[in-house]
Amino acid sequence: MNFTNLLKIAWKAILLNKMRAVLTMLGIIIGVASVIAMLAIGEGSKESIKKNISSMGANLITIRPGAGMMGGVRSDPTSMQTLTLDDYKALKSQAHQIKDISPLVNGSGQSIAGSNNWPTTIYGASPEYLSIRDWGVEFGAMFTEDDIESFGKVAVIGKTVQENLFPNEDPIGKMIRFKNIPFKVIGVLKEKGENTFGQDQDDIIIAPYTAVQKRILAQNYLQSIVTSSLSEEKSEEAVEEITTIMQKQHNIKDGEDDNFNVSSQQELISTFSSTSEMLTVLLVAIASISLVVGGIGIMNIMYVSVKERTREIGLRMAIGAKDSDILFQFLIESVLISITGGILGVIIGLLATLGISQFAGWPVTVTMSSIVISFTVCTITGVFFGWYPARKAAQSDPINALRYE
């Protein structure tokens, strides 16, 4: 008996018990829909994390003070004052794997403009800071190297600061005071929104680092140095080069701990992506339980079907059907039930994913691989759980089968 005839017979047998077939498929449908939805949520969250972190600067590399050993006691990294302008100048002149670099200092406090005030953070940086952060000025202009050299009291402000200090008015040319130090607003930054950690990136004032160091913080050390690699692919090379230069600058000998830390956005993306992938695998594993339950349901129904059609099996064998024909007949029925359930599961899974995106607002990304995997699993489930009942049918004794009541 050819495959086409076996397929027709299997399909007719399924249609004879439509409700039973649908109930049998239910486990497969729920399992496939759950797997597709979970994979879509996992992939979407991973892309969202990458996008949010990249918005802080795709090639960003940060050098911070690190905990060193003093008198046998490890110091708190936040209290370390190991980064200086000499480190910044050395990196700027010696590093070849970086594109832009900026020293960075910051302090929090109250900003005042006229009768309005707003608690915010002022950052002291160089003009390259905006390029490093993939940022731009929407109105006005960024300060220049001349402002750095002259300790210029000029600043660019974020959208949040503008909305709270200068509602419904142009801030360009106006004065703001931060800890009683006046700064002239020369630019307004483009809106960035919240970063991965929920921090409002627009709640910021940026001024020349020399002015912030001298006039506000009264310190000569740096809190960090930020730089951007030539490309995302060269981030690792840039980190290695920066580490080597900094070790030379700080006279770090072999075997000694570095008193600085160098981290890249790629490391951060990798860390968050790994966490997201682990959660996705866990969710998919839980959702896959439905597939196992659905498979057991298929085995149960196929076993019942074999019992119900014992006389039919005996009759087919009596008129010349081979054991392999009977085996494939019931195996095809099992696979058809599984694949049909898989198709319905994919449709429901895609609709569920669309619903999650529209109503919950979660980032979702459906990949072709998730659909292919679902169909593959459905086929394997149909074969695996349908094999035993099909083999049982193929091993039936035709004489006993014809006598079966």
223-257 burial, b at 16+ Cβ within 10 Å, e below that, comes to: bbbbbbbeeeeebeebbebbbebbbebbebeeeee
Confidence of residue 70 (pLDDT cuts 50, 70, 90): very low
Whether pLDDT at 124 is above 60: yes
Residue 59 resides in a domain? no
Q: Are strands 154-157 and 181-189 parallel, antiparallel or unpaired?
A: parallel
Count how many domains the chain has.
2
Paired strand residues for 306: none
Q: How far is Cα 346 from Cα 337, in angstroms, rounded to an integer?
A: 14
Instruction: Clarify whether residues 243 and 279 are in a common domain.
Output: no
The predicted pLDDT at position 292 comes to 79
Percent of the chain clearing pLDDT 90 (strictly above): 29
Q: Name the average pLDDT for the chain.
A: 81
| pLDDT-derived band at 313, boundaries 50, 70, 90 | low
* 387, part of any domain: yes
Per-residue confidence at 356, pLDDT binned at 50, 70, 90? confident
The pLDDT tens digits of the residues spanning 142-181 come to 999 999 999 999 999 999 999 999 998 899 999 999 988 9
Q: Is 144 helix (H, G, I), strand (E, B) or coil?
A: coil
Residue 45, token pair as written in the block: 């969250």
Residue 183 falls inside a structural domain = yes
Specify the pLDDT at position 142. 94
**Rounded Cα gap, residues 92 and 145, in angstroms:** 14
Range name among 146-155, 189-198, 226-235 with the lowest pLDDT average: 189-198
The verdict on 212 and 141 lying in the same domain is: yes
165-179, 204-218, 377-391 — which is least confidently predicted? Answer: 377-391
Contact 222, 105 (CB under 8 A): yes
Asked whether residue 265 is assigned to any structural domain, the reply reads no
Position 74 in a domain = no
Nearest Cα residue to 238 out of 225, 247, 248, 228: 228
User: What does the DSSP 8-state code read for residue 76?
Assistant: P
62 falls within a domain: no
Q: How far apart are CA 334 and CA 94, in angstroms?
A: 68
Q: What is the pLDDT of residue 54?
A: 59
Element (H, E) at 340: helix 323-355
**Of 161, 62, 151, nearest to 109 (Cα)?**
161
User: Which residue stretches of 224-322 are H helix?
Assistant: 235-249, 265-308, 310-318
First-residue to last-residue Cα distance in the chain: 27
Q: pLDDT tens digit string along 252-294? A: 887 788 888 888 876 666 666 677 677 777 777 777 777 777 7
Q: What does the DSSP 8-state code read for residue 357? A: I
Q: What is the arithmetic mean of pLDDT over 80-100?
A: 88
| Same domain for 247 and 279 | no
58: in domain: no
Residues 297 and 245 in one domain: no
Residues 127 and 201 in one domain: yes
The SS3 assignment for 221 reads coil
Is 233 in the same domain as 306? no
Identify whether residues 181 and 282 lie together within a single domain: no
Last residue of a domain, one of 258, 279, 302: 258
**Taking 60 as the threshold, does the pLDDT of residue 206 lie above it?**
yes
Phi-psi region of 158 (alpha: psi -120 to 50; beta: other; left: phi over 0): beta
Domain that holds residue 340: 3-52+271-403
Q: Average of pLDDT values for 123-137?
A: 91
Phi, psi of 223 (to 5 degrees): -85, -25
Inform me whether the pLDDT recorded for 77 exceeds 60: no
Whether 177 and 307 map to the same domain: the answer is no
Does residue 68 sit within a domain? no
Residues 137 and 225 in one domain: yes
Domain identity same for 143 and 247: yes
Cα 126–chain centre separation: 31
Say whether both 17 and 134 belong to one domain: no
Same-domain status, 92 and 226: yes
Chosen domain end from 258, 288, 304: 258
pLDDT at position 58 is 60
The pLDDT tens digits of the residues spanning 5-24 come to: 767 777 777 777 788 888 88
